[in-house]
A = this chain, B = another copy of it.
């Protein structure tokens, strides 16, 4: 087992100082640092002869960047279910990181005492190993994000995140516009009463869908009352619930997730009703799970790959041009998928 050669070895063999060798190897010669072609050649010859390879840790420590982007998720990044939640995000992230010449560091050793993951774990801010980081996942800790921002650590969240008091960078899907668009499509088909089932407005992504719905209701003059917006568990989407809605004159719904949509479907079936003949459903996102007998949902897809790509671009831009006041937030359009679950309302026929 031979020992690795160091920059000093290269310098000695080439008959130059480590400063010169470093400059040559890092291709920073040409402006302030001028090196004769002969010296240049001697350095590269020495590198080749010794099989020199730089130690990235030393480079980092000496103040250079290490061209590593961190990836932090508030949970396992490779979940067990086949339909991998993060896969398309990661695909975009890797694709763009490779293009920009960055490695990816996955922070997996971050389990905190509550069983979740934390950035400020034990005695180490994990993220400082990387030049900057991409954060993903629903269960973020806003205090950590604030601290990160206050520390001046460069990061971008994949998904809109608002933290009171600080502004953080993110790339998000434009759920608001997509939800509004689907709502308008239903209105244009003749629906006059539409209701919404979403999650409590604890997550920005839920807020965006809900506000898209409300916005479209205003625009289309659809009524909003206490039977229009629901934050209820799947178990509450019962046939009784649905019957009540039908009695109120509702002819369609915008629903935020496949599980809820499927529950709605089951309840309609239980009442002997079909989609979209008797009732229209638009799904606000793409399915998380694979269902045996799933209709061809009318929905929008979340631009996961693009969100990953743009997050890397934004972060790299931040790292390489820190003074550049580039946009720190970006909304990417969601593609509307026509599907087969919306139609003109029954009563309108």
Contacts and interface: CB of A to CB of B under 8 A. Distances in A.
B53 A125 contact: yes
A66 B126 CA distance: 10
A105 B106 contact: yes
Contacts of A97: 108-109
Interface stretch (A88-96, A208-216, A223-231, A341-349): A88-96
Interface residues of A, number: 52
Nearest to A43: B123
A85 to B, nearest CB: 12
A105 to B, nearest CB: 5
A319 interface: no
B60 A120 contact: no
A124 B54 contact: yes
Contact of A61 (B47, B58, B95): B58
Contact of A108 (B94, B107, B150): B94
Contact of A98 (B25, B52, B109): B109
A25 to B, nearest CB: 5
A61 B62 CA distance: 10
A101 interface: yes
Contact of A4 (B2, B78, B151): B151
Interface in A122-145: 123-126, 128-129
